[in-house]
């Protein structure tokens, strides 16, 4: 299984990119579905391939949230290893960290659970941000309080106002 061996940098980057593509698609579908638009009908392959970049750069809050939680997650994983080694004989601490209490088998620290925790944490945060921003835009559209500030003027004199 892929989680039972140490991954190389290329594998980590590839898996991360695929995860970000999937997350970007889910976030776009969620956002536009709330607004009543089926975005998959209007998407191209470049939209899908660039979704990780768009996901991280769309709003500065997304990027800050991802960076902060990756740093906190890294600190958590490092501290969990430290506490595992320091308190491996204390049964109360073992229950807190969900260590095996069976001493007959050798114990090994497994960080795959922590990695999955971080994946779900970051995904949840980003889905929450996207859901909240879509709900806010939908309310503003419904109440006609959404102000536009971008106008595209074509050569033939036609003007489009963008949201």
| Tens of pLDDT, residues 42-75 | 888 888 778 777 767 776 777 787 788 778 877 7
Say if residues 118 and 70 touch (Cβ distance below 8 Å).
yes
The half-sphere exposure of 133 on its side-chain side, counting CA atoms within 13 A, is 15
Confidence (pLDDT) at 128: 87
Whole-structure pTM value: 0.61
The b/e string for 105-126 (b: 16+ C-beta within 10 A; e otherwise) is eeeeeeeeebeeebeeebeebb
């Amino acid at each position: 299984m892929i989680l039972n061996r140490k991954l190389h940098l290329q594998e980590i980057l590839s898996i991360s990119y695929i995860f970000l593509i999937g997350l970007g698609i889910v976030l776009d579908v969620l956002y536009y579905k709330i607004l009543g638009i089926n975005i998959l009908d209007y998407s191209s392959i470049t939209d899908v391939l660039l979704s990780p970049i768009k996901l991280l750069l769309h709003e500065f809050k997304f990027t800050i949230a991802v960076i902060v939680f990756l740093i906190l997650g890294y600190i958590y994983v490092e501290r969990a290893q430290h506490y595992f080694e320091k308190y491996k004989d204390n049964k109360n601490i073992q229950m807190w960290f969900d260590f095996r209490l069976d001493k007959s088998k050798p114990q090994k620290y497994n960080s795959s659970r922590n990695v999955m925790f971080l994946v779900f944490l970051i995904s949840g945060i980003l889905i929450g941000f996207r859901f909240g921003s879509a709900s806010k835009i939908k309310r503003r559209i419904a109440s006609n309080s959404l102000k536009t500030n971008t106008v595209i003027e074509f050569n033939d004199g036609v003007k489009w106002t963008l949201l």
